[in-house]
Amino acid sequence: MNEHVPFLAQVPLFTSLPRSELEYLAATLRILDIPPRTPIFHEGEHGGHLYIVLDGQLEVVKALGTLDERLIGVRGPGEFVGEASLVNPDGQRTASVRTRAASRLWEMTRADFNALLNRQPMMAYEMVRVLSQRLNASHTNALRDLQEKNHQLTQAYEELKAAQAQIIEKEKLERELQVAHEIQMSILPRTLPHLPGFDFGARMVPARSVGGDFYDFIPLDSQAVEIVVGDVTDKGVPAAIFMAQTRALLRAEAIRTRSPRDVLQRVNHHLLEMNQQGLFVTVLCGVLDAATGKFAYARAGHELPLICAADGTLIPAAHGDGQPLGVLDDPVLDEQVVSVPPHGALLLYTDGVTESRDEQRATFGEARLAAALRVRVGAAAQSLCDQLLEAVIAHQGTNPQYDDLTLVAVHSGK
């Protein structure tokens, strides 16, 4: 007895065949050894062979080699492929088949198949049964695929709706931030003060749409103006709101007293009552007297002013301790009086200027700012601010701006 007869007897298509027929098939059918990942036949071809898997695995694939390629079945030992082409009138293959692993196959030609049906006509029923089972399985798989694709489409549709809602919300937020930016910039002084013998300049560039830096010029009379520069901790909308509150309080208190120290103390008292977020603000507030050229200021934890004579000599500013507003009941304030040198300049700024970093993380620094001021001290105050800001931005290069940038300059024409 041929060693393959028991195996053939287990093939669903041949279970009804007598032993003599199985021995005949085992002796006459050709055995093929096929390497892995090798196509056996392709979808759409005209076929004339049926293949029975003796060993290995075959993949049944639709749209083989295209973007729509889809595995619809795997056939292992005892199973067969290619029967549809033998029963279809046009003999066309309905799918492609390739080996998944190295496989050994029995090959049955159309002539072999027709001869077997002539000898064993009852096998046609077995063929119909097998084809019916495969058709049902195919319909089930197709339905499952359609349900899965429908689920995926539904999920994709919901994700698309969510993404669209996010885009709309993002656009709305961007518009609101743009409006907030316009509002914030509009509350800064629209015009610079006029004071005999002096000209003024200012620039502010927020790191985000809105920021926490601010500056102000508050005219006191024809011979004096109060100058304020502040920097709220944090960035973005919370800092911008706190900045607006602080600026409004500073203006209100500046009307009541000309003492920068008293102004800051009163503003601090108000901020403690309304500061629920734990923010704080550094401020330098001072009064410039045109008659004397003196700038008397109080400093609440803010950067020291830079003073430069007409010949480029830097004049150190005396200083003491100073603490920011919005934290302590009675913060230490640094009170000083400096003179703006004839044809020299006074520069106030926020730490975003000196802490600006380049691509190598090197800060712009106070020394670089002072050097830039020295070579530009003869410029008008607004031009001085513009040029210094350009120097800071050039230093940043492609590195992002992480903090607000603010510069206020006073130039003496006397």
Tell me what pLDDT residue 381 has: 96
Q: Which residues contact 380 (CB under 8 A, 6 or more apart)?
A: 199, 201, 411
Q: What is the pTM assigned to this prediction?
A: 0.62
CA atoms lying within 13 Å on the CB side of residue 331 = 31
- The string of pLDDT tens digits covering residues 353-371 is 999 999 999 999 999 999 9
Residue 400 DSSP one-character state: P
Residue 343 DSSP one-character state: T
Residues of the chain with pLDDT under 70: 1, 89, 135, 138-139, 142, 173-174, 176-186
Q: Which domains does the chain have, with CATH numbers?
A: 5-121 (2.60.120.10), 189-412 (3.60.40.10)
CA atoms of 210 and 100, how far apart (whole Å): 61
Tell me what pLDDT residue 408 has: 97
CA atoms lying within 13 Å on the CB side of residue 144 = 7
- The string of pLDDT tens digits covering residues 250-291 is 999 998 999 999 999 999 999 998 877 778 999 999 999 999
Place of tokens 């089972």: 133
